[in-house]
Amino acid sequence: MRERTQVSGTTRERIVSTALRLFAEKGFAAVGIREIASEVGLSSATLYHYMGSKDDLLHEIMTDRLGRLISVTRQALTGLGRPEDKLVTVVRVHVLVHALHSDSVVDHQIRDLDPKARTAVIALRDSYEAIWRSLLAEGTAQPAVFRIGSPKLTRLALLEMCNGVARWYSDRGPKHPSEIADCFAALALSMVGAARGGQPVRLADLQSRPTAEILALVEAELRGSNGSLDATVVA
Protein backbone atom coordinates (compact mmCIF):
# COMPACT_ATOMS: atom_id res chain seq x y z
CA MET A 1 0.00 0.00 0.00
CA ARG A 2 1.37 3.37 -0.97
CA GLU A 3 1.03 6.36 1.29
CA ARG A 4 -1.69 8.88 0.67
CA THR A 5 -0.65 11.79 -1.46
CA GLN A 6 -2.35 15.09 -0.78
CA VAL A 7 -3.68 16.61 -3.97
CA SER A 8 -4.97 20.13 -4.33
CA GLY A 9 -8.66 20.40 -5.13
CA THR A 10 -7.90 22.11 -8.43
CA THR A 11 -5.44 19.46 -9.58
CA ARG A 12 -7.68 16.60 -8.48
CA GLU A 13 -10.68 18.19 -10.18
CA ARG A 14 -8.73 18.49 -13.42
CA ILE A 15 -7.57 14.88 -13.25
CA VAL A 16 -11.03 13.49 -12.53
CA SER A 17 -12.93 15.67 -15.02
CA THR A 18 -10.38 14.92 -17.74
CA ALA A 19 -10.50 11.18 -17.04
CA LEU A 20 -14.30 11.14 -17.11
CA ARG A 21 -14.39 13.05 -20.39
CA LEU A 22 -11.86 10.75 -22.05
CA PHE A 23 -13.57 7.61 -20.73
CA ALA A 24 -16.88 8.86 -22.14
CA GLU A 25 -15.41 9.85 -25.52
CA LYS A 26 -13.15 6.87 -26.20
CA GLY A 27 -14.10 4.16 -23.74
CA PHE A 28 -12.17 3.13 -20.66
CA ALA A 29 -9.98 0.55 -22.43
CA ALA A 30 -8.81 3.02 -25.07
CA VAL A 31 -7.59 5.64 -22.60
CA GLY A 32 -4.19 5.36 -20.96
CA ILE A 33 -2.67 7.08 -17.96
CA ARG A 34 -0.21 8.85 -20.27
CA GLU A 35 -3.08 10.44 -22.22
CA ILE A 36 -4.85 11.58 -19.06
CA ALA A 37 -1.58 13.01 -17.74
CA SER A 38 -0.86 14.82 -21.00
CA GLU A 39 -4.32 16.42 -21.07
CA VAL A 40 -3.95 17.59 -17.46
CA GLY A 41 -0.38 18.81 -17.98
CA LEU A 42 1.34 16.34 -15.66
CA SER A 43 3.86 13.59 -16.21
CA SER A 44 2.63 10.00 -16.08
CA ALA A 45 4.75 9.41 -12.98
CA THR A 46 3.26 12.41 -11.22
CA LEU A 47 -0.28 11.38 -12.11
CA TYR A 48 0.35 7.87 -10.84
CA HIS A 49 1.75 9.33 -7.64
CA TYR A 50 -1.45 11.35 -7.22
CA MET A 51 -4.06 8.82 -8.28
CA GLY A 52 -2.56 5.35 -8.71
CA SER A 53 -3.46 3.27 -11.75
CA LYS A 54 -6.26 3.98 -14.18
CA ASP A 55 -8.25 1.21 -12.48
CA ASP A 56 -7.70 2.85 -9.08
CA LEU A 57 -8.91 6.15 -10.50
CA LEU A 58 -12.10 4.67 -11.97
CA HIS A 59 -12.85 2.78 -8.77
CA GLU A 60 -12.46 5.88 -6.62
CA ILE A 61 -14.57 7.99 -8.96
CA MET A 62 -17.41 5.46 -8.99
CA THR A 63 -17.31 4.95 -5.23
CA ASP A 64 -17.40 8.69 -4.64
CA ARG A 65 -20.21 9.37 -7.12
CA LEU A 66 -22.48 6.55 -5.96
CA GLY A 67 -21.83 7.43 -2.34
CA ARG A 68 -22.89 11.01 -2.96
CA LEU A 69 -26.04 9.92 -4.81
CA ILE A 70 -27.02 7.68 -1.90
CA SER A 71 -26.28 10.43 0.60
CA VAL A 72 -28.35 13.13 -1.07
CA THR A 73 -31.22 10.72 -1.69
CA ARG A 74 -31.35 9.77 1.99
CA GLN A 75 -31.20 13.42 2.99
CA ALA A 76 -34.12 14.24 0.71
CA LEU A 77 -36.18 11.33 2.09
CA THR A 78 -35.71 12.33 5.72
CA GLY A 79 -39.05 12.74 7.46
CA LEU A 80 -41.18 11.31 4.63
CA GLY A 81 -43.59 8.50 5.44
CA ARG A 82 -45.89 7.90 2.47
CA PRO A 83 -44.58 5.90 -0.49
CA GLU A 84 -45.89 8.37 -3.06
CA ASP A 85 -43.96 11.19 -1.38
CA LYS A 86 -40.85 9.04 -1.38
CA LEU A 87 -41.30 8.10 -5.04
CA VAL A 88 -41.50 11.65 -6.35
CA THR A 89 -38.55 12.59 -4.13
CA VAL A 90 -36.19 9.90 -5.44
CA VAL A 91 -37.26 10.68 -9.01
CA ARG A 92 -36.55 14.37 -8.52
CA VAL A 93 -33.15 13.68 -6.96
CA HIS A 94 -32.17 11.25 -9.71
CA VAL A 95 -33.24 13.59 -12.52
CA LEU A 96 -31.51 16.62 -11.01
CA VAL A 97 -28.26 14.73 -10.44
CA HIS A 98 -28.27 13.33 -13.97
CA ALA A 99 -29.15 16.65 -15.60
CA LEU A 100 -26.86 18.96 -13.65
CA HIS A 101 -24.01 16.59 -12.83
CA SER A 102 -23.82 14.22 -15.76
CA ASP A 103 -20.16 13.60 -14.86
CA SER A 104 -21.53 11.80 -11.82
CA VAL A 105 -23.13 9.16 -14.05
CA VAL A 106 -20.67 6.28 -14.13
CA ASP A 107 -22.81 3.13 -13.93
CA HIS A 108 -21.99 2.18 -17.52
CA GLN A 109 -18.31 1.89 -16.57
CA ILE A 110 -18.87 -0.91 -14.06
CA ARG A 111 -17.89 -3.57 -16.58
CA ASP A 112 -14.44 -1.97 -16.87
CA LEU A 113 -13.56 -2.46 -13.20
CA ASP A 114 -11.43 -5.35 -12.04
CA PRO A 115 -13.46 -8.12 -10.34
CA LYS A 116 -12.78 -7.06 -6.75
CA ALA A 117 -13.57 -3.40 -7.39
CA ARG A 118 -16.60 -4.35 -9.49
CA THR A 119 -18.05 -6.38 -6.63
CA ALA A 120 -17.65 -3.45 -4.23
CA VAL A 121 -19.20 -0.92 -6.62
CA ILE A 122 -22.10 -3.22 -7.51
CA ALA A 123 -22.81 -3.61 -3.79
CA LEU A 124 -22.91 0.19 -3.49
CA ARG A 125 -25.20 0.46 -6.51
CA ASP A 126 -27.46 -2.21 -5.01
CA SER A 127 -27.66 -0.13 -1.82
CA TYR A 128 -29.01 2.74 -3.88
CA GLU A 129 -31.50 0.59 -5.78
CA ALA A 130 -32.64 -0.87 -2.45
CA ILE A 131 -34.09 2.55 -1.64
CA TRP A 132 -36.28 2.26 -4.75
CA ARG A 133 -37.19 -1.36 -4.01
CA SER A 134 -38.23 -0.46 -0.49
CA LEU A 135 -40.55 2.40 -1.44
CA LEU A 136 -42.19 0.35 -4.20
CA ALA A 137 -42.73 -2.46 -1.73
CA GLU A 138 -44.33 0.01 0.69
CA GLY A 139 -46.56 1.30 -2.08
CA THR A 140 -47.82 -2.16 -3.04
CA ALA A 141 -48.42 -3.37 0.54
CA GLN A 142 -52.09 -3.49 1.47
CA PRO A 143 -53.92 -1.20 1.34
CA ALA A 144 -51.99 -0.60 -1.86
CA VAL A 145 -51.28 2.92 -3.10
CA PHE A 146 -49.41 1.70 -6.17
CA ARG A 147 -50.99 -0.65 -8.70
CA ILE A 148 -48.18 -2.35 -10.56
CA GLY A 149 -47.79 -5.89 -11.84
CA SER A 150 -44.04 -6.25 -11.35
CA PRO A 151 -42.19 -4.04 -8.85
CA LYS A 152 -38.84 -5.12 -10.33
CA LEU A 153 -39.74 -4.17 -13.90
CA THR A 154 -41.33 -0.96 -12.67
CA ARG A 155 -38.16 -0.06 -10.78
CA LEU A 156 -35.99 -0.75 -13.81
CA ALA A 157 -38.31 1.28 -16.07
CA LEU A 158 -38.31 4.24 -13.70
CA LEU A 159 -34.54 4.18 -13.31
CA GLU A 160 -33.96 3.91 -17.05
CA MET A 161 -36.36 6.80 -17.68
CA CYS A 162 -34.45 8.98 -15.22
CA ASN A 163 -31.00 7.78 -16.36
CA GLY A 164 -31.73 8.95 -19.89
CA VAL A 165 -31.71 12.59 -18.81
CA ALA A 166 -27.90 12.50 -18.69
CA ARG A 167 -27.80 11.59 -22.38
CA TRP A 168 -30.12 14.23 -23.78
CA TYR A 169 -30.36 17.14 -21.34
CA SER A 170 -28.86 20.42 -22.53
CA ASP A 171 -28.80 23.72 -20.69
CA ARG A 172 -29.71 25.28 -24.04
CA GLY A 173 -33.11 23.59 -23.91
CA PRO A 174 -36.36 25.31 -22.97
CA LYS A 175 -36.83 23.65 -19.57
CA HIS A 176 -34.85 23.96 -16.36
CA PRO A 177 -33.88 20.65 -14.72
CA SER A 178 -36.34 21.41 -11.90
CA GLU A 179 -39.19 21.50 -14.42
CA ILE A 180 -38.01 18.23 -15.94
CA ALA A 181 -37.79 16.70 -12.47
CA ASP A 182 -41.39 17.68 -11.74
CA CYS A 183 -42.56 16.35 -15.10
CA PHE A 184 -40.85 13.02 -14.47
CA ALA A 185 -42.27 12.88 -10.94
CA ALA A 186 -45.78 13.22 -12.35
CA LEU A 187 -45.01 10.54 -14.96
CA ALA A 188 -43.76 8.24 -12.19
CA LEU A 189 -47.02 8.61 -10.27
CA SER A 190 -48.91 7.65 -13.42
CA MET A 191 -46.63 4.71 -14.13
CA VAL A 192 -47.28 3.18 -10.72
CA GLY A 193 -51.00 3.98 -10.80
CA ALA A 194 -50.76 5.92 -7.55
CA ALA A 195 -54.20 6.40 -6.00
CA ARG A 196 -55.81 6.96 -2.61
CA GLY A 197 -59.51 6.71 -1.84
CA GLY A 198 -60.18 5.77 -5.44
CA GLN A 199 -58.67 9.04 -6.69
CA PRO A 200 -55.39 9.40 -8.59
CA VAL A 201 -52.60 10.95 -6.54
CA ARG A 202 -51.59 14.29 -8.03
CA LEU A 203 -48.25 15.97 -7.66
CA ALA A 204 -49.93 18.98 -6.05
CA ASP A 205 -51.38 16.76 -3.31
CA LEU A 206 -48.06 15.50 -2.03
CA GLN A 207 -46.17 16.39 1.12
CA SER A 208 -42.65 15.85 -0.20
CA ARG A 209 -39.92 18.47 -0.19
CA PRO A 210 -40.30 21.24 -2.79
CA THR A 211 -38.16 20.70 -5.86
CA ALA A 212 -36.17 23.87 -5.09
CA GLU A 213 -35.21 22.42 -1.73
CA ILE A 214 -34.16 19.13 -3.29
CA LEU A 215 -32.12 21.06 -5.85
CA ALA A 216 -30.29 22.84 -3.02
CA LEU A 217 -29.49 19.48 -1.40
CA VAL A 218 -28.16 18.10 -4.69
CA GLU A 219 -25.99 21.13 -5.30
CA ALA A 220 -24.63 21.10 -1.76
CA GLU A 221 -23.73 17.40 -2.00
CA LEU A 222 -22.32 17.35 -5.52
CA ARG A 223 -20.90 20.82 -6.10
CA GLY A 224 -17.15 20.51 -6.40
CA SER A 225 -17.23 16.72 -5.98
CA ASN A 226 -14.56 16.34 -8.66
CA GLY A 227 -12.02 17.78 -6.30
CA SER A 228 -13.00 16.03 -3.12
CA LEU A 229 -12.28 12.39 -3.74
CA ASP A 230 -10.38 10.61 -1.01
CA ALA A 231 -6.69 10.88 -1.85
CA THR A 232 -5.90 7.31 -0.87
CA VAL A 233 -4.29 5.24 -3.59
CA VAL A 234 -3.72 1.58 -2.92
CA ALA A 235 -1.05 -0.16 -4.94
Residue 113 lies in a domain: yes
Question: Would you say residue 3 has pLDDT above 50?
Answer: no
Q: Using CA atoms of 86, 92, 93, 96 in order, give the dihedral in degrees to the nearest 10.
A: 180
Select from 196, 128, 205 the least CA-distant residue to 162: 128
Higher pLDDT, 189 or 57: 189
Q: Is residue 4 part of a domain?
A: no
- 58 confidence band (pLDDT: 50, 70, 90): confident
Asked if the structure places residue 204 within a domain, the reply is: yes
Task: Give the count of domains, the chain.
Answer: 1
* Highest mean pLDDT, choosing among 5-14, 31-40, 191-200: 191-200
The residue count of the chain comes to: 235
- pLDDT value at position 152? 95
What was the pLDDT predicted at 28? 79
Mean pLDDT, all residues of the chain = 84
In a domain, 220, yes or no: yes
Q: Is residue 3 part of a domain?
A: no
Sign of torsion, CA 140 145 147 150? negative
Q: Identify the pLDDT of residue 170.
A: 87
Using the predicted structure, report yes or no on whether residue 162 has a pLDDT greater than 80: yes
pLDDT at 5: 42
Q: What percent of the chain has pLDDT over 90?
A: 45
Q: Is residue 167 part of a domain?
A: yes
Query: What CATH number corresponds to the domain at position 140?
Result: 1.10.357.10
> Is residue 235 domain-resident?
no
Instruction: Say what the pLDDT of residue 227 is.
Output: 39
Average pLDDT over residues 109-135: 88
Separation between Cα atoms, residue 19 and residue 15, nearest integer Å: 6
Cα within 13 Å of Cα(157), Cβ side:
14
- Nearest alpha-carbon partner for 87 in 147, 143, 146: 146
Give a yes or no: residue 135 inside a domain: yes
Of all residues in the chain, the percent with pLDDT exceeding 70 is: 89
Q: Residue 103 — pLDDT band, cuts 50, 70, 90? A: low
Please report, for residues 24, 103, 107, 152, the alpha-carbon distance to residue 64 in angstroms, rounded to integers and kept in the order given: 18, 12, 12, 26
* Domain limits for position 197: 9-227
Please report the pLDDT score of residue 107 as a whole number.
64
Instruction: Say if residue 30's pLDDT is above 70.
Output: yes
pLDDT (mean) for 153-178: 92
